[in-house]
Structure 1
Amino acid sequence: MIKLIASDMDGTLINSSHEISSRNLNAIRRAQESGIEFAIATGRDYSMVKPFLDKYQLKCEAIVMNGAEYRDCKGEVIESIGIEKDKVKDIIVEILKESSIVDIYTSEGIFTTKYSKEDFESTVNRIKEFNKEMTKDNIIKLLTEIREKMIEFDIEDIDKIISSEMVFYKIITSHKDKETIRDLKEKINKIGGLAVASTSEYDIEVNDIQAQKGLILAKVAKMKGIEKDEVMVLGDSFNDYSMFTEFKNSYAMKNAMDEIKKIATYITETNNNDGVGKAIEKVLNMQ
């Protein structure tokens, strides 16, 4: 019997219009009413999750920043895992050899390098490649909204940021060349003690090795007295990988990356065709 459901957001729970469909929302509410707990599991930080929860009046726990934080229904931090300070500098040094784009998720907000016009356009194009049903205008609107919540910094100030007392949760970079990203992943992995994931072939997300969606979800489930076979997970990209290896009741979206589909126990519909809602309905009908 399923007692806890954890779903990724982008590409999974949210459709290309950047909305939670009524079928998905109704299925989640049905599950909660039947006593099943629901949690969001996302690479976003909590400030980018809460507006969605408020908009849809969805009360649930949340794994954010790929597992660097676990928040309860009130938004209080249950678990928190940062990257070791000496490794933060090593990661950023490697990134800046190849890319001018760096987003640093910290306890004081998200710091981001200033985007050139070319950086912005290439980011829009990369998002479009993996979200073909999203219009370019919607992508530009979304990216602009996200960047408005970030704190821009000059690369020359990076040492000042690293030497601060902030906790560093996640570091992201992207590049238009897949090979560059593959090479950079290898170099960052060699630093050791890090979880290096992606949402596409053009980006890298770096967390502490313990800050992974699947690991923190397993830890919280254990705290709640919930067995692993009583947990259901849904996702579509590389940063969902640990959930699929930790829990056997795993559902990949039809739009998921091939690597995720290969290790999933089940395949559900796409994020644009109520895949989350249909998977939850299936489980509810079996219980």
Structure 2
Amino acid sequence: MIKVIAFDLDGTLLGRDHTVAAETLRWLHAARQRGIRLVVVSGRNEGEARKVLEGAELALAWITCNGAKTTDPHGETVCVRPMTEKSIRRVQETCRAYMETPLWWGEREQYCVGRNADAEKALRLRFSTLPVRYSPEEIRRLPAFRRMLRAIRVVPSLDALLREEQLFYKAVVVCAEQAAAAKLREALAREPGVAVAATTLFDVEVTDEKAQKGPALDRLIRRWGYTRREVMALGDSLNDLSMLEMDFGATVAMANAPLRVKQVAKYTTKSNEELGVAFAIEQLLARQEG
């Protein structure tokens, strides 16, 4: 019997327009009405994750920044796994050696160590790897790009970064080439005390070694008194692997997921554009009530 449904946001719950379809919300509410707990498990920070489900009234728990922070449905922080100062310094140094610029996710804001041009380049690379292709000039004119660029705090040094906030949950690097991202992931994976993941083949996501989606979800459900077999987890990207590889009762990959993600999951549902989360919940409820 599934008693907890955990789901990623981008590429899983959300469509290409980064919103939740009304049909998907209907099935999420149907699950809640049957006493099933719902958990968002996202690479986004908590503030950005909450925006897309604002007003949904679903009593959600939140696992954000790839598992670095967990918040219960009452808004109480359950667990935080920030990066250590030593890890932050080593990740910054490794990225610099590979001529790449990380964006640092703090509790309140995102930061870039360097110059304004470094922040713009890092963000432009993120937009250049989207399914919709834009030229550099088109990217600069996008309202979303300008809004996100304004939100990045640029600091001159790593020491200045560490004075800005006490907690840093995640570093994100987007590379111009897949091969460059793969080499950087390999280099960072050799660093002690960190976990390395990715959303796409072009990016690198670094957190504390204990901040991963799967272990964070496991800690939360055990706190609630559930076992792994009572959990269904849904995801689509490489940073969902730690969740879909665990022996939860049902691990579900989206049809739009990379082959590697589908291979580790027990089931595959429809794509996010075909409301795959809604379909999976509908099928689950039908089996449990049949």
TM-score normalised to structure 1 length: 0.90
| Aligned counterparts of 2:165 and 2:24: Cα–Cα separation in 1 | 41
Question: Relative to 1, partners in 2 of residues 1:99 and 1:140: Cα closer, same or farther, differing over 3 Å?
Answer: farther
- What is the aligned partner in structure 2 of residue 170 from structure 1? 170
Q: Which residue of 2 aligns with 1:17?
A: 17
Query: How far, CA to CA, are the matches of 1:179 and 1:61 in structure 2?
Result: 36
Please say if residues 106 and 165 of structure 2, whose CA atoms lie closer than 8 Å, have aligned partners that are also in contact.
no
Match of 1:7 in 2: 7
Q: Secondary structure at the match of 1:78?
A: strand
- Give 2:39's aligned amino acid: A
Cα distance in 1 for residues equivalent to 2:54 and 2:149: 20
CA RMSD of aligned residues (A): 2.3
The whole-number CA distance in structure 2 between the counterparts of 1:276 and 1:143 is: 29
Change (3 A) 1:147 1:64: farther
Q: What is the distance in 2 between the residues matched to 1:24 and 1:115?
A: 40
Measured against aligned partners, the alpha-carbon deviations of 1:120-176 in whole angstroms (never above 9, x if no partner) come to: 4432220226x99xxx88x9444444444x33214x322221356612211111111
Unaligned runs of 5+ in 2: none
Q: Which position in structure 1 is the counterpart of 2:213?
A: 213
- Give the secondary-structure state (helix, strand or coil) at the position aligned to 2:110: strand
Q: Quick check: 110-119 or 274-283, which moved more?
A: 110-119
Matches for 1:1-287 after TM superposition, within 5 Å: 1-112=1-112, 114-115=116-117, 119-128=122-131, 140-148=142-150, 150-154=151-155, 156-162=156-162, 166-246=166-246, 247-287=248-288
Return closer, same or farther for 1:63/1:182 CA change in 2, 3 Å cut-off.
same
Identity, % of aligned positions: 28
SS, match of residue 131 in structure 2: helix
Alignment check: 8 A CA contact 1:42 1:66 kept: yes
Could you tell me how far 1:219 is from its partner in structure 2? 0.7
Amino acid at match of 2:179: E
TM-score (norm 2): 0.89
Aligned residues: 280
CA 1:145 to 1:229, structure 2 compared with 1: closer, same or farther past 3 Å? farther
